[in-house]
Each structure stands twice: as structure tokens, then as C-alpha cells.
């Protein structure tokens, strides 16, 4: 490795260590296998990079506004060493997770990680084309749908139980094919100069009939999280009811945006009064502008509008060293990695001992639909056809 790369990796390590030290990360003795109790982007169609619609102002904005804190969980120092070469196909963008991947690699002198960054959908397609000849060991996805698609095609191998037990059962595949590493809740950003929390319906199906939203609410239908939300609506409410909802929202005068960060900013600016986004876009705007911005978060209850989706990882059937691959996934569940997700992306950590950052309810206080298996969200093709048929796309 040349001097330039060594310098870059050392800089990455220093940046990451500063964040980890500020967080007061502590490894909890005897917690290598946490139990199942407790709490349980990218244009998301792209690869979570500023060039894909993400403003640079949000990258890394979660690190400083909320002060130091102590973080529980299992530190990387308590995990098995990593040694060998590992090819990572990442549907999470380098701008958001490259620093974490580099930090993990930097901890182990005999580890080489070869990441390939692209959209999750394109990487799934690439894996399908490569078949048994794929060099990939681990697939890291921005959503559970892509992980479920690979599992359905028999392209994964089960993770060890000691890895699966890091997160509650509802955030991993029932058969152990994949595990969530961080989470995002569907939410409703609203402008506090226009609405109070009680003004926001607690059922997503009521939105097209809410006259207060007329010409004053936004969505981003090209986003994969929005499409997963509509997929959940199809599963929970049926295709005809979903069609009627999409038509009703258009009749209401919903405004279309290129990405969900734009929606959160538009709500804070008073351009629109409410929107449909993942929760962390709201927190990023607040981190940038201060908690005095007229922007708050509402959540619907036990329906498609309250879906809690996860970014996650799996070991592929082509992994040359499945033990190394599984232990790399384990490192994504370390105290350092979980705090990184909370501070850098404002996502929900999935390891119960690590709390989220920002003005957010805990995972236990959210009310996602009880009867939805996240693996079911892999059927995006039917959803895209419906969005096109209704004129949304």
C-alpha cells in the first residue's frame, strides 16, 4: 500500500476514534451475545452519496450537536480478530459508510476489505449475473427488501446464532439469512407554525381525506424507502385500496420532490406544511439549523406509514471464508459501529444497549405494523408498476 493510502487510512482512523472517544464507548463484559429482550439513503434508489441528491451538509452532521454520551454494547476489541481478504458489495454509499468500513479495516493489519459501492438493486442484479463466479463475500444493503430478494434466490448462507442474537428477532431474517444493522422509521415531518402533533392523522390511509394537507404536503416517489412504504401498503391494505390512496393524494395536490431530505428542508422553510420521509432526514435538518427550527416529527400507528425498515448485511453463498464474512458482519453490530450510525446518519441503532440520537422516541415507543415481515418488501416490481399506472412515476 502506498504512502498516500496509508496517510488517508490513518486520517480516517483518527477521525473515527475522536468520534468514538467523545461518545464514551464502553464494552460491556459478558455481552458478546446480547439477548433478544430490550428495544429492539442515497437517493435511496442510488447509493447515499451527495452526488445522488444528498446535500453535503447532512453528512456527518450527527456527531456534535448533542454532546458526549456513554454507549453500551460490545466493543470491537471484544470481537474476533479479522484476517484475510474480504469483498464487500455495499448498497450503502461510500459517503456515509466508507469511513466505518475503513476504520474496521484499519484495526487489523492482516485484513484487506475490497468494497464495491453501487445501488442495492443494481448489486442484486450484478450478483444474479455473476452467479457462482461472484467474488463477493458480504452484501450490505440499505433496505431489507434487497436482502430478502437474495435470500429468496438462495444466495445467502445462515449467520451464526451468536451474531444473530445481537439484535431483536424482528430485525433479522427468521431463518438467519440476514441481520439488520441500523433502522429507519417512516415518519411525517410537519411545520410547527402550521400544525401541532394532534393535527397529524395517526392513520396513513386518512391522509388523502385531510383537507388541511391540500396543496401543502410533499412526497418523493422515486425513493426506494417510499416505494417500500407503498409495497407495505399493498401487503397490508390490498392493491385496490393502495391505488385509491395514490390517486387521492394526487387529487389532494401532493408536491413531488427529488429526495426526502429536500422534503424535510421544504417543511422547515414553510414551503410545504408536511411531508412523508424517513425519520433521519428531519434530524439532520435540525442538527444543521438548530432545534429551534419549526420542524417536528409525527408517526402514524400500526400501518404502512409506520414501517420500520432496516439496513443490514448477509453472508453470500460465494463467500470464500464464511467465518471471516460473518465476523465482519458482527463488527457492524459493535458499540463503535452502532454509535457511528446514530451520530453520522441519525438512524436507529439496533443493538438495544445503544440509544438513538436526536428528538426521537425509542424503538419500543414506535408502533410499526405487527403483521409485516420486512422480507416481504422485496417485491418492488409490482409497486413500481402501480406507481406508473397511477401516474405517480
Per-domain residue ranges of the chain: 3-183+310-361, 184-307+377-389
Does 7 score more than 50 pLDDT? no
342 or 36: which leads in pLDDT: 342
For residue 126, the model assigns a pLDDT of 97
For residue 62, the model assigns a pLDDT of 34
Find cell 487510512 and name the residue.
Answer: 9
Domain 3-183+310-361 and domain 184-307+377-389 have a common topology: yes
47 or 384: which leads in pLDDT: 384
For residue 374, the model assigns a pLDDT of 83
Q: Which of 66, 64, 96, 18 is nearest to 357 (CA)?
A: 66
Q: Which of 97, 92, 75 is nearest to 20 (CA)?
A: 75
For residue 17, the model assigns a pLDDT of 45
In CATH, what number does 184-307+377-389 get?
3.40.190.10
The band of 69, judged by pLDDT with boundaries at 50, 70 and 90, is low
Question: How does pLDDT run across 200-223, given as a tens digit for each residue?
Answer: 999 999 999 999 999 999 999 998
Computed over every residue of the chain, the mean pLDDT equals 84
For residue 237, the model assigns a pLDDT of 97
For residue 71, the model assigns a pLDDT of 80
In CATH, what number does 3-183+310-361 get?
3.40.190.10
55 or 163: which leads in pLDDT: 163
For residue 42, the model assigns a pLDDT of 41
The band of 60, judged by pLDDT with boundaries at 50, 70 and 90, is very low
Q: Buried b / exposed e across 321-337, counting CB within 10 Å, b at 16+?
A: ebebbbbbbbbbbbbbb
Percent of the chain with pLDDT over 70: 82
If 0-12 CB within 10 Å is exposed, 13-18 middle and 19+ buried, where does residue 226 land? buried
- Collect all residues with Cβ–Cβ distance below 8 Å to 29 and sequence separation of at least 6: none
Average pLDDT over residues 106-132: 95
Cα separation of 248 and 217, whole Å? Answer: 13
164 or 380: which leads in pLDDT: 164
Asked whether the beta carbons of 137 and 324 are under 8 A apart, the reply is: yes
If 0-12 CB within 10 Å is exposed, 13-18 middle and 19+ buried, where does residue 297 land? buried
In the beta sheet, which residues pair with residue 138?
88, 315
How many CB atoms sit inside 10 A of residue 59's CB? 18
The band of 124, judged by pLDDT with boundaries at 50, 70 and 90, is very high
How many CB atoms sit inside 10 A of residue 365's CB? 9
Question: How does pLDDT run across 343-384, given as a tens digit for each residue?
Answer: 888 899 999 999 888 778 888 899 999 888 887 887 888 999
Does 326 score more than 90 pLDDT? yes
Does 233 score more than 90 pLDDT? yes
Q: Quick one: three-class SS letters along 120-182?
A: HHHHHHHHHHHHHHCCCCEEEECCHHHHHHHHHCCCEECCCHHHHCCCCHHHECCCCCCEEEE
For residue 189, the model assigns a pLDDT of 98
- Give the DSSP H or E segment for 345: helix 335-345
Among 13-17, 183-187, 279-283, 323-327, whose mean pLDDT is lowest?
13-17
The band of 28, judged by pLDDT with boundaries at 50, 70 and 90, is very low
7 or 200: which leads in pLDDT: 200
Amino acid at each position: 500500500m502506498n504512502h498516500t493510502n496509508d496517510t488517508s487510512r490513518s486520517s480516517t482512523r483518527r477521525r473515527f476514534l475522536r468520534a468514538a472517544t467523545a461518545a464514551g464507548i464502553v464494552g460491556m463484559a459478558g455481552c458478546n451475545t446480547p439477548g433478544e429482550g430490550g428495544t429492539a439513503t442515497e437517493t435511496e434508489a442510488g447509493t447515499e452519496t451527495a452526488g445522488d441528491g444528498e446535500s453535503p451538509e447532512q453528512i456527518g452532521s450527527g456527531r456534535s450537536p448533542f454532546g458526549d454520551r456513554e454507549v453500551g454494547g460490545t466493543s470491537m476489541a471484544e470481537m474476533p480478530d479479522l484476517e484475510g481478504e474480504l469483498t464487500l458489495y455495499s448498497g450503502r454509499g461510500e459517503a456515509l459508510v466508507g469511513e466505518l468500513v475503513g476504520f474496521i479495516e484499519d484495526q487489523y493489519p492482516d485484513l484487506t476489505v475490497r468494497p464495491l459501492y453501487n445501488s442495492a438493486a443494481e448489486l442484486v442484479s450484478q450478483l444474479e449475473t455473476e452467479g457462482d463466479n461472484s467474488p463477493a463475500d458480504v452484501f450490505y444493503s440499505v433496505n431489507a427488501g434487497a436482502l430478502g430478494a437474495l435470500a429468496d434466490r438462495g444466495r445467502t448462507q445462515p449467520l451464526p446464532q451468536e451474531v444473530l442474537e445481537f439484535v431483536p428477532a424482528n430485525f433479522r431474517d427468521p431463518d438467519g439469512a440476514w441481520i439488520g444493522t441500523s433502522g429507519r422509521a417512516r415518519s411525517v415531518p410537519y411545520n410547527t407554525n402550521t400544525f401541532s402533533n394532534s393535527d397529524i392523522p395517526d392513520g396513513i390511509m386518512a391522509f388523502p381525506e385531510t383537507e388541511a394537507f391540500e396543496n401543502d404536503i410533499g412526497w418523493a416517489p422515486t425513493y426506494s424507502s417510499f416505494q417500500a412504504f407503498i409495497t407495505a401498503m399493498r401487503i397490508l391494505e390490498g392493491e385496490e385500496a393502495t391505488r385509491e390512496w395514490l390517486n387521492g393524494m394526487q387529487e389532494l395536490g401532493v408536491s413531488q420532490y427529488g429526495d426526502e431530505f429536500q422534503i424535510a428542508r421544504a417543511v422547515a422553510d414553510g414551503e410545504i406544511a408536511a411531508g412523508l420521509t424517513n425519520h433521519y432526514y428531519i434530524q439532520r435538518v435540525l442538527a444543521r439549523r438548530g432545534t429551534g427550527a419549526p420542524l417536528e416529527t409525527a408517526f402514524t400507528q400500526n400501518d404502512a406509514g409506520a414501517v420500520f425498515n432496516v439496513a443490514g448485511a448477509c453472508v453470500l453463498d460465494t463467500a470464500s471464508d464464511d467465518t471471516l464474512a460473518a465476523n465482519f458482519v458482527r463488527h457492524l453490530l459493535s458499540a463503535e459501529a452502532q454509535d457511528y450510525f446514530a451520530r453520522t446518519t441519525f438512524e436507529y441503532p439496533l443493538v438495544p444497549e445503544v440509544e438513538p440520537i436526536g428528538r426521537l422516541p425509542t424503538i419500543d415507543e414506535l408502533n410499526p405494523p405487527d403483521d409485516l415481515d420486512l422480507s416481504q418488501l422485496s417485491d418492488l416490481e409490482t409497486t413500481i408498476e402501480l406507481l406508473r399506472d397511477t401516474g405517480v412515476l
